[in-house]
Amino acid sequence: MKIYTRTGDQGETGLIGERRRKDNLRVEAYGTVDELNAFIGEAIVRLQEDIYTDMRKNLTIIQHQLFDAGGDLAQVGKNRTYLVKAKMVDDLEYLIDQYDKECSELANFIVPGGTAQSTAFHLCRVVARRAERRVVTLCSTEETNEEIRRYLNRLSDFFFVLARVANVRAGQTDIPYKRNQELR
């Protein structure tokens, strides 16, 4: 199988059911999900220490789930069978609750940063939020698997908690937001 097909050279791509322009809302939504998946891959690379084994395992599963989400978003027309289900959201909520037990109670906003691992998770969080916004827009104009919207919303929460846990496991405190800072 060739990597290039030349079928997209005119600015269109093939979906499951029809062709669309590459700047179409549906293409933008699953493209942003794909971008998130790449950021997760980059985060996994930063998690080579044994203290992150559980995170690497969970993130690898999430990468496969995001491929499922991309496939769901690429489906156009009738007779759809979706792969992203409510149980996936429930599983994320369970993991969020488990990881959150490692963190102190959050008393104020925090600034992204601390460790390289934490920062990678904050990047995943903001890309997940952007993917969610793209799916919200898509859901307002076309029929699609709306469970993906819930999944991405919860996934961004998951990344927030992972960012905090990465700092905790490295012995780094979160960076508290301080209002009205001035450069001098």
The share of the chain scoring above pLDDT 70, in percent, equals: 99
Joined tokens for residue 113: 């940063």
Dump pLDDT digits (tens) for 55-84: 999 999 999 999 999 999 999 977 789 999
Give the per-residue pLDDT at 17: 79
Phi, psi of 176 (to 5 degrees): -70, 145
Give the per-residue pLDDT at 172: 97
Cβ proximity of 177 and 110 under 8 Å: yes
Give the per-residue pLDDT at 27: 95
Assess whether pLDDT exceeds 70 at residue 21: no
Cβ proximity of 156 and 128 under 8 Å: yes
Q: What is the pTM of this model?
A: 0.93
The pairing of strands 19-21 and 12-14 is antiparallel
Please measure the distance between the N-terminal and C-terminal CA atoms of the chain and give it in whole angstroms.
58
21-174: CATH topology is Hypothetical Protein Ta1238; Chain: A; (1.20.1200)
Domain chopping of the chain, boundaries: 21-174
Dump pLDDT digits (tens) for 86-124: 999 999 999 999 999 999 999 999 999 999 999 999 999
Question: In sequence order, what are the residues at sequence separation of 6 or more whose Cβ sits closer than 8 angstroms to the Cβ of residue 58?
Answer: 95
Cβ proximity of 85 and 122 under 8 Å: no
Task: Determine the residue type at 181.
Answer: Q
Q: Determine how many CB atoms are found less than 10 A away from the CB of residue 58.
A: 17
> 172 or 7: whose pLDDT is higher?
172
Give the per-residue pLDDT at 77: 77
Report how far residue 22's alpha carbon sits from residue 120's, in angstroms, rounded to the nearest whole number: 28
Cβ proximity of 99 and 57 under 8 Å: no
Joined tokens for residue 165: 């846990």
Q: What is the radius of gyration, based on Cα positions, of the chain? A: 18
Dump pLDDT digits (tens) for 130-170: 999 999 999 999 999 999 999 999 999 999 999 999 999 99
Instruction: Tell me which H or E stretch contains 119.
Output: helix 116-141
